[in-house]
Chains A and B, each alone.
Chain A
C-alpha cells in the first residue's frame, strides 16, 4: 500500500497563476483533509471532506477550493495564487472523522 500520495512534490508559481494539488489514498478511508504548514505555526486545516460527496471549510479556506473526486481522491485548487500561499501543503486521510489521520509526504509550493 502506498498510503497517501501527493503530486507534485514541489511547485513554483507566479502570482495570479492557478494550479491543482492532487491527493490520493489507497486505505479505503472515508475522510480526507488538506492542511498547510507555515514556519512557527504548526499545521492549519484548509478544507476537509468527512465522507465522499461532502466538503467543509477549515480554519484557513480563503483562496482555495476543493473537490472530492471520489472516495480515493481529494484535490486542492488555487485559482489565483498569492505569495501568502507559499507553504508546505499536506493531505491526510482517516478511516472516519475523529480517528487517526495519516499524512502524505507534502507539496512544497512557492509563489513568487
Chain B
C-alpha cells in the first residue's frame, strides 16, 4: 500500500524567510507520480506540480522549487522569500502508475498536510 507522510504539521515563518516543506512517500511500484497541492484559506485545492518517478530533475518555478530524491523517497518543496499570500495548507500526494495491476492506478494518496503561516 502506498503512503505519504508530511511530518511537519504546522510551520510559522516571517515574511522573506525561506521555508522547506517535507514529504516522504512509500510505494512498491516502480512507476509513480508525485504531486503538490496548495489549499489557501478559501478552501479550494490548487495544483502546483507533478513529477514522474523516472524524472529526478529538480524543478524551479519562480519562488517555488522542488527536490525529488528517489534514494530517500522524498519530494520536498521550498518557498524562497516567503510572502503572506503563501499562507495555506500544502499537501503532498502520490499516485501509482499503470503497472500496479490496475487496482490503484490513478488514485491519489494524500499526506496529512502542512499548515504554513507567513507573518508580515
Chain A residues proximal to chain B, CB less than 8 Å: 31, 33, 35, 40-45, 48, 50, 58, 88, 90, 92, 94, 96-103, 105-106
**Centre residue among A44, A88, A98 by max chain B CB count within 10 A:** A98
Interchain CA distance A97-B102 in the complex, whole Å: 10
Q: Interface range on chain B: under 10, 10 to 19, 20 to 34, or 35 or more?
A: 20 to 34
A100 to B50, Cβ gap below 8 A? yes
B107 to A58, Cβ gap below 8 A? yes
B43 to A42, Cβ gap below 8 A? no
**B95: A residues at CB distance < 8 A:** 98
Chain B residues proximal to chain A, CB less than 8 Å: 4, 9, 33, 35, 37, 43-45, 47, 50, 91, 93, 95-98, 105-113
**A58: B residues at CB distance < 8 A:** 107
**A97: B residues at CB distance < 8 A:** 98, 105-106
Interface residue from A40, A45, A96 paired with B108 (Cβ < 8 Å): A45
Closest beta carbon of chain B to A47's beta carbon, Å: 10
Are A100 and B91 also in contact (CB < 8 A) when A42-B110, A43-B108 are? no
Closest beta carbon of chain A to B32's beta carbon, Å: 9
